[in-house]
Amino acid sequence: FHLTIVLLNIWTHKELVSCVGWTTADELYSCSEDHQILRWNLLTSETSLVVKLQEDLFPIDLHWFPKTVGGKKQAQAEIFVLTSTDGKFHLASKMGRIEKSVEAHKGAVLAGRWNYDGTALITAGEDGQIKIWSKSGMLRSTLAQQGSPVYSVAWGPDSDRILYTSGRLLIIKPLQPSAKLLQWKAHDGIILKVDWNSVNDLILSSGEDCKYKVWDSYGRLLYTSSSHDYPVTSVSWSPDGEVFAVGSFNTLRLCDKTGWSYVLEKPNTGSVFSLAWSADGTQLAGACGNGHVIFAHVVEQRWEWRSFEITLTKRRTMQVRNVVNDAGDVLEFRDRVIKASLAHGHLVVTTSLQCYVYSATNWNTPLIFDLKEGTVSLIVQAEKHFLLVDGTGVYVFSYEGRLISTPRFPGMRTDILNAQSVSLSNDTIAIRDKSDEKGEWNASRAVPSLPQYQTSLSTQWGEICIALDQCGPSSDRKIAVIDKNRDLYLTAVHRLYREHNICKIGTMVHTMAWNDSANILCGIQDTQFTVWHYPSAVFTDKDLLPKTLYMKDASEFSRAPHILNYVGTQVTVRRCDGSLVYSSVSPYPALLHEYSASSRWEDALRLCRFAKDQSLWACLAGMAMANRELTTAEVAYAAIGEVDKVQYINSIKDLPSKESSVAHMLLFSGHVQEAEATLLQAGLVYQTIQVHINLYNWDRALELAVKHKTHVDTVLAYRLKFLQDFSKKETNKRFMQYADGVEVDWEKIQAKVEMELVKEREKAATTSVRSSLASRR
């Protein structure tokens, strides 16, 4: 990132500029102690006077009424609140006419902010009071009262909490009267400015101790800056929460959300008292102490994918470079670039009016289509589709520009979606549903693109990051979730006929990413860089999962790293200081996934024998069992020394019927209920009862025997033998009830068992003959 600084000298204020606010992406209002409100038009570089305020009105803060709420344009969007030193706040129209003035505080009103849906206004005063008002200016409540001035205030992401300053303290107060407030010492000097982002849920603060800091919403410190030469007078998040701006005396800084600085500018502005981002996040304006309004355009963004490197050199120009042959192209756009994404062989660029789709094989002829809403806040790419998020909804397009779907669910807020809460694969969209956070369970909505259908999955503690795997058929689609406790879970998306089986596969996982060409997951787990070569092993054989991992020390990534992507055999990690670190992983697991997907089991065995890697053998064992390839599974389990499982696989191969084999493979993976359903559907009642006897599920075994009126004596006999082996007496009332009327005769039981096995063999033989005759026809 880089900032292009612009100072429009056509018309400046004669006194200190106290506050600024954008009306559109190219129009800004500024207020000054010279009692003037100026309008700045960046398209024409013109400045005009909106209104000259009365001489006793000295403005402090300005905030425009929200333009959109939940994708709908507000009818009352053309007003703003202006706070002043006389203890009043003023509701003013776009023409500068003051519609209403309200006596709010004793002393100056230091801050005024609309909530996200425009239903409430909060003001903070020099008198230490914080008050909530209706949008028409009627007092609703006094939220807090303290002895020191409140210099800054911010709404929480859901407009249900307030963040405010109290000297050196930061305080988060929920609006519910009985809820407990959270407060902590944040700075060594008076805190001057705070901001709370709705997308990433992170808090910014700055103060007279000449530092700025980043916090999470629990008050945990994530980053603290070194001490500046002067107090840090302003901080502001960009709308998408990816970067923030910091203002001080003759200083403007652009920083990443993790705190490290992209760029430091030293404009001759005096102190920057207020910062405001345009709605599209491409422009920044600052209210300066010397009467200027400073404008900064964000350029020099960079995207990388395989051998391509793309840089936004100007607001409407991109430079493409292939580092292999040093070939270059220049991409020109009609309007300024707002968002871009480079992945899966395609570059997707959105401007204020259009979307451009380039193929990495042809940079000359992009596909172009118009956008309904100009401000795209997020682009997510998959191999066949890409997804756009704007103020009105979520849209999935093919790379040919065809609209695939527009997923929606009740309560969906597109303004808080980011790369951690939205994931896309070739057939499925996953969106984190933040509205469910108030209950005990959270939901992630999974919406396959074609056909339209919706389901929801839940974790107990709320997700902070979700990611869909990118390969394989849609029926095997998996989603990985990191919850608030930093536990990593994996679950299947399409499991319509049974409950979702959510398996924990990692703890203290800070960041993760799926590989783009194989279902391999990487993440940073505590102090270890971990690669799950075959995460789906947890559904086939949980004991295999630890053996499929590759782990190495993650100290080279320093503290709080973030995985940007995992392409081919290369993982790109952003360290906390902003530097990029590249880590290579073995190519063999991806090759093994390819062989498994195409059922080339002989090639898979040859690869494992060549690599002589235990984790590869463990992956192959899991893949073979998932595909019911017992011969390959037997070899793979033998190679990792799992003798008991080799014996069990051999016993499965000896079973007479296909249904029995399938059921025992399900039992191998721990799916008892599904194994029971498979056997009962095939009419193999005795085999079902025997499964439960072998698992010591005595109650279920007796229940099935009684229900089907067969083998009650068999269950009682095995139960009696079990009790005798452990020198115990019967205490189960149901078994005592049936034991009175049933005689146990082991010879008869053995004969019945033999008869059942003969019946199963005959049935299997008949089925085999029928299927062979059908295939000849």
Determine phi and psi for 435, rounding to 5 degrees: -65, -20
The confidence score (pLDDT) of residue 11 equals 62
585: nearest Cα among 512, 659, 530: 530
Q: How confident is the model at residue 451 (pLDDT cuts 50, 70, 90)?
A: very low
At 654, the pLDDT band (50, 70, 90 cuts) reads confident
Comparing 84-88, 390-394, 438-442, 715-719, which segment has the lowest mean pLDDT?
Answer: 438-442
What backbone torsions phi and psi does residue 649 show, to the nearest 5 degrees? -65, -40
pLDDT at 452: 45
Give the Cα separation of 710 and 403 in Å (integer): 58
Could you count the other beta carbons within 10 Å of the beta carbon of residue 604? 26
Q: Write the Ramachandran bin of 107: left for phi over 0, alpha for psi from -120 to 50, otherwise beta.
A: left
Q: Is the pLDDT of residue 453 over 90?
A: no
Contact by Cβ (8 Å): 37, 31: yes
- The CA–CA distances, whole Å, from 285 to 6, 8, 25, 298, 686 equal 10, 11, 11, 11, 77
pLDDT at 439: 32
Start-to-end C-alpha separation, the chain: 68
pLDDT of residue 496: 44
CB atoms within 10 A of CB 290: 16
H helix and E strand count, the chain = 13, 57
The answer to whether residue 147 scores a pLDDT higher than 80 is yes
* DSSP H/E element including 742: none
Dist. CA 188–CA 389, nearest whole Å: 40
Nearest-5° angle of CA 233, CA 239, CA 244?
40
CA dihedral 451, 453, 456, 457 (to 10 degrees): -30
Closest CA to 281 of 341, 339, 239: 239
Burial track 496-526 (b if 16+ CB lie within 10 A, e otherwise): eeeeeeebebbeebbbbbbbbbbbbbbbbbe
Compute CA distances 252 → 1, 266, 273, 621, whole Å.
Answer: 14, 6, 11, 57
The strand pair at 317-322 and 308-314 is best described as antiparallel
pLDDT band at 441 (very low <50, low <70, confident <90, very high): very low
Helix, strand or coil, per DSSP, at residue 650: helix
DSSP letter at 157 equals T
Question: Residue 54 carries which DSSP code?
Answer: P
Picking from 131, 170, 59, the residue whose alpha carbon sits closest to that of residue 122 is: 131
Residue 50, CA distances (Å) to 214, 225, 487 in order: 36, 38, 54
Comparing 354-368, 434-448, 513-527, 685-699, which segment has the lowest mean pLDDT? Answer: 434-448
In Å, what is the CA distance from 489 to each residue of 275, 321, 433, 505, 547? 40, 39, 17, 6, 18
C-beta separation of 28 from 22 below 8 A = yes
Contact predicate 9/17, CB 8 Å? no
Q: What confidence category does residue 86 fall into, taking pLDDT thresholds of 50, 70 and 90?
A: very high
Query: 729-741 pLDDT, tens per residue?
Result: 888 888 888 877 6
Residue 230 pLDDT more than 80? yes
The pLDDT score that the predictor gives to residue 443 is 42
Cβ-based neighbours of 210, under 8 Å, separated by 6 or more: 189, 227, 228, 229, 230, 231, 232, 248
Q: Compute the average pLDDT of residues 235-263.
A: 93
| Chain Cα centroid distance, residue 735 | 52
Return the pLDDT at 350.
95
- Nearest Cα residue to 514 out of 579, 415, 428: 428
Structure tokens at 110: 């230091």
Report phi then psi at 691, rounded to 5.
-60, -45
CA–CA separation, 189 vs 178, rounded Å? Answer: 31
To 5 degrees, how large is the angle CA 349–CA 518–CA 458?
A: 80
List the structure tokens of 351.
Answer: 């401007």
Assigned token pair, 108? 């100056």
pTM: 0.87
**Mean pLDDT across the stretch 232-256?**
94
The pair phi, psi for residue 53, each rounded to 5°, is: -75, 165
Q: Which of 210, 280, 308, 215 is nearest to 25 (CA)?
A: 280
Residue 658, SS3 per DSSP? helix
Query: DSSP readout, 14-45?
Result: SS-EEEEEEEETTEEEEEETTSEEEEEETTTT
Query: How high is the pLDDT of residue 179?
Result: 87
| Amino acid 5: pLDDT | 67
Please give the residue that has the higher pLDDT: either 548 or 449: 548
Q: Which of 488, 509, 395 minimizes the C-alpha distance to 447?
A: 395
**Predicted pLDDT at 456:** 57
pLDDT given for residue 257 in this prediction? 92
Helix, strand, coil shares of the chain as percentages rounded to 5? 25, 40, 35
pLDDT, averaged across the chain: 88
Q: Among 23-32, 152-161, 621-630, 715-724, where is mean pLDDT lowest?
A: 715-724
460 — pLDDT class (breaks 50, 70, 90): low
Which pLDDT does position 222 carry in this prediction? Answer: 92
Largest Cα–Cα separation, the chain: 110
Lowest mean pLDDT among 275-279, 345-349, 652-656: 652-656
Q: Model confidence over 461-500: pLDDT tens digits?
A: 566 889 999 998 888 899 999 988 899 999 988 764 455 5
